[in-house]
Structure 1
């Protein structure tokens, strides 16, 4: 449902020519293709799974409404490992880490295809997530260091194009493979791609390392990661009722304690994982908070909508996949208009209006009847895709625009973590709502499930719309000048 491409932790900090490696002609030519292949693998995998979940649930003997853990496990693993990706590449070399990332992603894919149970699938998705967390950030880091500033934007544009194609193909390919072959093939497809990527990495990926002796805030990383994991597990536990409320509450309190301990730790550490100085930048502070709340609603829709189409409306997997294409096309179209609209109206007006419109569109899925026509559904999803893409572009450019060279790396990394975490929490929250509203309804009765889906969309739309109160804190003229808008265009 989204063609969003997250930023690299070091984006915007171009190394001087004296520190840039000299690449041979073949490497200069094919390195962008290697990184583009990684983009394609990662973005395809994040979207291809959603339309296959009901079919996977049937084969694994699970309730399709409880399959969100397979999605959350991947997103949470990526969020936890993004902060360490840059340090690992600096310490062990970009080629070594990139090769490990491809290997782990491919191994995780094979394990997913062999999964005999949901529990095994979740563990395999964690392995896959470790590889996915390293693929894109390390690939961007190589491009950032290997190409001069004059070529950087053109190379980045080239390698992000597959990131737009992945969401376009993913839902349809997942639905077609599930219906006409087997859901196992959505994971097995990664194996030949991984073999080609591994060979190309060994041949064309330079082995770049960072400064010797660079320190990493392992103590802060442990506190931050453990806190994120506990908070996510607590919220998921409250929704699924697989553990007692007392254990969920204990995890929630422990998670909050870890996060508070991290910020106390960061305030007295010379090189913290995420510097508290970031929150002295008003646009970063507002943009990050707005990201969290807006994505709780919009981040859940790629998981919830294919489920709604198949379980609620009775679509086949291939029909559900094809129905998602208008949302991706709408998102691609909006990217050409977003920055011009922001220059004209400013961030405050764009984000307030667009956030309210996004919340209303998510809630309006509650108006879709079981016998909806394909044309009206395509119009609805296409409009949602346009508004959703505008939201992503405006939020991300606002959040990163006022960061300087001292804070760009840390701020970009924190934004990437928040993006993944918010999508993970959005999936867990939507599943919790759906299970709550569907209590007592047979999971095989699609018509009886429709009101539960409708109520879930209403709740998610209300949550997303609440982010408008956060964006209301922006200055009225924020982002109206051409110079600031150009510097913030990160997608």
Structure 2
């Protein structure tokens, strides 16, 4: 069957496995940090360097993924990425100290940076637009599940079989995926692969690294504002220089021309704000319950799990909803209803029935899942096949930035709202955290308005059966 005819479902499932592995490892060591710190003889806060190293490496290396796929073919790069990620997981598991763990995490980041965008590109390149919604359904759920499941999974594995298993669990999946990838991933390098834009890579690398480091500093418990400002200034300077360079280049590392396509722009600009917010929301709920309400980690984790239940429960209905109502209505509605749920959460307190809180979190998961599916599918609805590689690389980079800085932005919002609440005088301990949810609801106005400006039939051909 021609590769461009219909969706290759085994390939889509394989790409989803890779995405699941990469997303889980982005945050899974959070709950394992105290046990790891004890074994390494360091403070738990020192483990932040291992988490930052992973996010930083992924952010810096993602822009090169499209060039690598075009130059060497998707199968070679995807299998290489799987091998690197799997070997790095083993190295992390057997780390004897923090520097060894950090080195392993950097290597994991290299594998993850290639694995996810190249896997998605293999699924989407030449795909019939009528199969786009089905393809993105496979590629969406890992991004919804991982941020909610990772902390709980990390805690369970650490408490039962030990923290090395948060990495060892990748080994059987990695080996199986490698074997399957050799058989089903197509390998067709571009006929005239362009030269690597080294200058663009340098600018993008410096900008993304400085942005991640700056936002990590902003989100830390004891921010050094001078360093944070320095990082962000460097990020802005390198970013502006990089965009200027790449817009003038013949074969730029990141091709921004896809942003002229309305559906792609909405899927990645407004969609980037949306992804940032939904990445931050579980973190905000956890802080509200543990720090604000004084609940145990187990109780807080159980309640936040309602978000995951909502994600999964609605997933079979997301594609039919988009086919029935269209991208515009679904995305605007998910933003609006999601914002209403966050506003409702502003009014919960320790006396609110647990079933009521769980129901609100369930609803937030439902609308989160619908919006995520809508944006992920819309972004590629009008991208021509010959532009898919460059558009996918740009989208992957923008999405990695949004997800990577989501928790840092959430921490900054909490810091500002709790300071504002304290300035007003004695108040309930949870008031600032509740205000943070109001700010999150307000931020959803931007992606909602941007989506509302789309043509009524935007992406319609991709929503048809």
The interval holding the TM-score normalised by the smaller chain is 0.7 to 0.9
Q: Aligned to 2:172, which of 192, 217, 238?
A: 192
Question: How far apart are residue 369 of structure 1 and its match?
Answer: 3.8
Larger RCO, structure (CA 8 Å, separation 6 or more): 1
| Mapping 1:189-268, distance limit 5 Å | 189-201=169-181, 207-240=187-220, 244-268=224-248
Question: Please, which of 257, 280, 302 is the counterpart of residue 260 of structure 2?
Answer: 280
Give the superposition deviation at 1:198: 3.8
Q: Partners of 1:93 and 1:341 in 2: how far apart?
A: 35
Q: Write out per-residue CA displacement over residues 403-443 of structure 1, whole angstroms, 9 at most, x where no aligned residue.
A: 3345443333222222221111111122345567789xxxx
TM-score under structure 2 length normalisation:
0.78
Q: What SS does the aligned partner of 1:401 have? A: coil
Kindly tell me: are residues 275 and 138 of structure 1, through their superposed partners in 2, closer, same or farther at Cα, counting changes over 3 Å?
A: closer
Query: Aligned pair 1:484/2:459, yes or no?
Result: yes
* Residue equivalent to 1:101: 81
Aligned match of 1:82: 62
* Residue 103 (structure 1) shift: 2.8
Shift of 1:330: 1.4
Cα distance in 2 for residues equivalent to 1:485 and 1:50: 41
CA distance in 1, matches of 2:149, 2:233: 41
Name the CA distance, whole Å, in 2 between partners of 1:115 and 1:372. 44
Post-superposition CA distance 1:114-134 (Å, at most 9, x none): 556667655533322221122
In structure 2, runs of 5+ residues without a counterpart are 420-425
Candidates 361, 374, 377, aligned match of 2:341? 361
Among 395, 404, 429, the alignment partner of 1:451 is: 429
Separation in 2, partners of 1:347, 1:157:
13
What is the CA–CA distance in structure 2 between the aligned matches of 1:251 and 1:29, rounded to whole Å? Answer: 42
Residue 186 of structure 1 deviates from its aligned partner by 1.5
Q: Does the CA-based 8 Å contact 1:179-1:316 persist in structure 2?
A: no
Change (3 A) 1:342 1:438: same
Instruction: Indicate the residue corresponding to 2:449 in structure 1.
Output: 472
Q: CA deviation at 1:183?
A: 3.0
Shift of 1:305: 4.1
Within a 5 Å distance, the mapping from 1:149-164 to structure 2 comes to 156=135, 160=139, 163=142
Q: Retained in 1: the 8 A contact 2:18–2:116?
A: yes
Q: Matches of residues 19-418 of structure 1 in structure 2 within 5 Å?
A: 34-35=14-15, 37-46=17-26, 48-49=28-29, 51-52=31-32, 62=43, 70-114=50-94, 121-143=101-123, 156=135, 160=139, 163=142, 167=146, 170-201=150-181, 207-240=187-220, 244-306=224-286, 321-338=301-318, 341=321, 350-362=330-342, 364-370=344-350, 374-418=354-398
Looking at structure 1, the residues matched to 265 and 383 of structure 2 have their Cα atoms a distance apart, in angstroms, of: 11
Question: Partners of 1:472 and 1:122 in 2: how far apart?
Answer: 41
Q: Distance in 1 between matches of 2:144 and 2:337?
A: 26
> How far is the alpha carbon of 1:154 from its aligned partner?
10
